[in-house]
Chain A
């Protein structure tokens, strides 16, 4: 009944939502940790439910064996609607201060006593504050765009594969919505596992290819290790706080005492819970030693790499830490956050060094994602949730652009991804939009001055120097490491651009099995309608080679320029990547739009000890508001540092100097890439200066090892896989000898008994009769003896 009511009210609200949103507006007051969340209508429930509806519809498509692009349109429509709903919900949330809770239904609820902490509740409800809206805006928006891109990209698989792809795609957005919007850690965990599953399904999309299957398994297994940390963090949270609902946890933190009266100040849980949650975040976001799954995940179709493995799912770790940020600041020494900062910086640097030497452009983007995620974690670690989340947003746009450009290249050149075999793509007919979008993406990633990526990266870099080393251990060292990484980033990004997109026009088609996505265009009936329209490079007199196995094998190869869907999405994303820079100037007094949003959510940084204090007795009123008003011009992260001595960058104010420093570093990186990979290059395969560099003493010896990814996979193989294999063999022997031995012994007893009794079964009738007579005689004798 409850469910029916919910659906009914959903329908009515879907129509009223727009007018509500129109009424909304006005000044939103700042977030107040621990304040009772406002109750909200079920409109927000539409955001997870729309993708779920899409899953159901596409499953029906699969059942009725639909062989058209219908699944793609269902996905695009549902995600675009979800985006609209998100905007409307965001307007509503902005109108009233604080967090909102939208109740769905009672999912899990039981108690084993009447005392405090003797009940457990995990409802299917949504916790909506500005952080939630911030995340869902780009998840649904990018989801809709990338689904549109995929409608063309996956067109060679129309049929069962197409249905499978879009089911998993929609299911992913549903899971992501649960992860981001849930009002308790259990919902987050549900979404967390859900996105993991969808990631597994989509990496292994080409399940006939052993490489893809292995990559999917690797991603799944590595993620499970991190998930164990998350699960333990969830359970520890329940053990300490007696609840897993955000509002209750935040209330406890704001008062300093849990509902069962444990004082949080100096309590062990202040370190243990964040550390466990961080393990989960590292697994999902490919940080530190968990990163190995992400490069292999590039075996999945490119839209998946763009949405899941660049823009949304891998940022779930950042979301987790931003959401639970109050918990991270309970510990006065901020030890876990120091660890997060260092882990992020080291990962960023490490992945960047590997990216410099790879030849597969999609792999390079994969490593650069790891590296940029490292930037975000370092940002969280040095106490700028604003910088970290702003970087999440800008990165989501420009990295999606970059991936989708690589995907377009892969789609057009029969799976070719080797940067030594492609050159001058931008100058080919029909590839202009791809080239320009790629350039914009590269400029953003390289941190070229006044791009969105430049501003967001800058925020993190500057804050690393501003935050005093006494607060976050080695914060300025983290900053230096990130600066160095920024230089490397600019180099490897433009290495791709200068090698593949400009220079002499040369290409060599892929072998279709290489790098995954491309099964050869056209399985006989694949019409290539748009191919002819948009790619004049096709010579119609040639008969195209689109029959049978398509490009590449024998005959002439013609690159197949992208159609309208791909071009449209790339153009939108490229514009969005540029426009994202504007968000830095909105709400300038709060350090940009991201800062504005974060200051109104749980991701707002409040120095340890300030959560509670005099206002604990006075309820949740004035003091917090005053503080926020006081610090309204400071970023969420900066605020804490204000009272203390701020760090400097070589004696200068980091916020002012960093623009110049990182801008110049970006230019140097691009310049080096230009010299090595553009200057004097006349063919796709080699570049004269780069060849020379490879013969140079230090660089030349390091490069091949970096190309082998510093042998991390081999080391893991040796340290983890081989010992486990040996252990497995040992257990196998124990199993065979001991366990099987016992079982066989149990079996041997009846066998032996039967064997010894066997001779009595002579088969001769007289013997049986004699046995019977003797038996009856004995019974009679016994009876007589008893009677006497």
Chain B
């Protein structure tokens, strides 16, 4: 499929689901732009902030951006594979959040700080 076609409104576009249009008024492109914006915000946050918890939140943000893109594509193609994939991702993310926060707690106990730059032991 030509990537340019993604801009076409779903009403006149490829998919119909149960007689309903795939995107009510919005095109696939809108969703992808939101997803990309979220991802970039998360990335910038991850690179600029030093607080471990904030950095972790930023990674979650990037995570969900990817999820939005997946659901949008699933909807666009009129199937459920994108959604079902995201369900799995959310489950894993929940488990991972618990783990990551536990790690943060442990790291904090070691150095009494949440600054990510305090951990430089892998310096070559």
Interface of A with B (CB < 8 Å)? Answer: 757-766, 769-770, 773, 787
For B121, the chain A residues whose CB sits under 8 A away are: 763
Among B3, B47, B117, contact of A769 (Cβ-Cβ < 8 Å): B47
Shortest CB-to-CB span from A786 to chain B, Å, is: 13
Tell me, yes or no, whether B76 is within 8 Å of chain A by CB.
no
- Flag if A761 contacts B123 (CB, 8 Å): yes
Tell me, yes or no, whether B53 is within 8 Å of chain A by CB.
no
- Flag if B116 contacts A765 (CB, 8 Å): yes
With a 10 A CB-CB cut-off, give which of B117, B123, B124 has the most chain A CB atoms: B124
For A770, the chain B residues whose CB sits under 8 A away are: 47
Known: A769-B47, A773-B43. A763 touches B116 (CB 8 A): no
- Flag if B47 contacts A762 (CB, 8 Å): no
Shortest CB-to-CB span from B80 to chain A, Å, is: 28
CB-defined A-B contacts under 8 Å, sample of 27: A758-B124, A759-B124, A760-B124, A761-B122, A761-B123, A761-B124, A762-B120, A762-B123, A762-B124, A763-B119, A763-B120, A763-B121, A763-B122, A763-B123, A763-B124, A764-B117, A765-B116, A765-B117, A765-B119, A766-B46, A766-B47, A766-B50, A769-B46, A769-B47, A770-B47, A773-B47, A787-B3
With a 10 A CB-CB cut-off, give which of A757, A758, A762, A766 has the most chain B CB atoms: A766
For B55, the chain A residues whose CB sits under 8 A away are: 765
Shortest CB-to-CB span from A17 to chain B, Å, is: 83
B 73-117 binary contact with A (CB < 8 Å = 1; else 0): 000000000000000000000000000000000000000000011
Known contacts A765-B117, A770-B47, A787-B3, then 12 further A-B pairs from the complex at CB < 8 Å, ordered by chain A residue = A758-B124, A760-B124, A761-B123, A763-B119, A764-B117, A764-B120, A765-B119, A766-B47, A769-B46, A769-B47, A773-B43, A773-B47
For A787, the chain B residues whose CB sits under 8 A away are: 3
Which residue from chain A places its CB closest to the CB of B48 in the assembled complex?
A: A766
Shortest CB-to-CB span from A772 to chain B, Å, is: 10
Which residue from chain A places its CB closest to the CB of B120 in the assembled complex?
A: A763
Which 6 residue pairs across A and B have the least CB separation, nearest first? Answer: A761-B124, A763-B123, A763-B120, A758-B124, A763-B122, A765-B116
For B116, the chain A residues whose CB sits under 8 A away are: 765-766
Shortest CB-to-CB span from A788 to chain B, Å, is: 10
Main secondary structure of the interface of A (DSSP, over half): helix
Which residue from chain B places its CB closest to the CB of A773 in the assembled complex?
A: B43
Shortest CB-to-CB span from A622 to chain B, Å, is: 96
A787–B2 Cα distance when bound, in Å, is 11
Which residue from chain A places its CB closest to the CB of B49 in the assembled complex?
A: A766
For A760, the chain B residues whose CB sits under 8 A away are: 124
A766–B124 Cα distance when bound, in Å, is 15
A773–B122 Cα distance when bound, in Å, is 20
Shortest CB-to-CB span from B96 to chain A, Å, is: 17
A421–B3 Cα distance when bound, in Å, is 114
A764–B119 Cα distance when bound, in Å, is 7
Restricting to B25-44, which residues have a CB under 8 Å from any CB of A? 43
A760–B124 Cα distance when bound, in Å, is 8
For A759, the chain B residues whose CB sits under 8 A away are: 124
Restricting to B1-16, which residues have a CB under 8 Å from any CB of A? 3
A766–B50 Cα distance when bound, in Å, is 8
A766–B121 Cα distance when bound, in Å, is 14
Which residue from chain B places its CB closest to the CB of A755 in the assembled complex?
A: B124
A750–B122 Cα distance when bound, in Å, is 20
Shortest CB-to-CB span from B101 to chain A, Å, is: 17
For A773, the chain B residues whose CB sits under 8 A away are: 43, 47
A787–B43 Cα distance when bound, in Å, is 25
Shortest CB-to-CB span from A5 to chain B, Å, is: 73
A764–B46 Cα distance when bound, in Å, is 13
Which residue from chain B places its CB closest to the CB of A770 in the assembled complex?
A: B47
For A758, the chain B residues whose CB sits under 8 A away are: 124
A769–B122 Cα distance when bound, in Å, is 14
Among A757, A761, A766, contact of B117 (Cβ-Cβ < 8 Å): A766
For A763, the chain B residues whose CB sits under 8 A away are: 119-124
For A769, the chain B residues whose CB sits under 8 A away are: 46-47
A763–B123 Cα distance when bound, in Å, is 4
A233–B123 Cα distance when bound, in Å, is 68
Shortest CB-to-CB span from B108 to chain A, Å, is: 15
A23–B73 Cα distance when bound, in Å, is 111
For A762, the chain B residues whose CB sits under 8 A away are: 120, 123-124
A760–B123 Cα distance when bound, in Å, is 9
Which residue from chain B places its CB closest to the CB of A787 in the assembled complex?
A: B3
A787–B50 Cα distance when bound, in Å, is 37
A769–B59 Cα distance when bound, in Å, is 11
For B119, the chain A residues whose CB sits under 8 A away are: 763, 765
For B120, the chain A residues whose CB sits under 8 A away are: 762-764
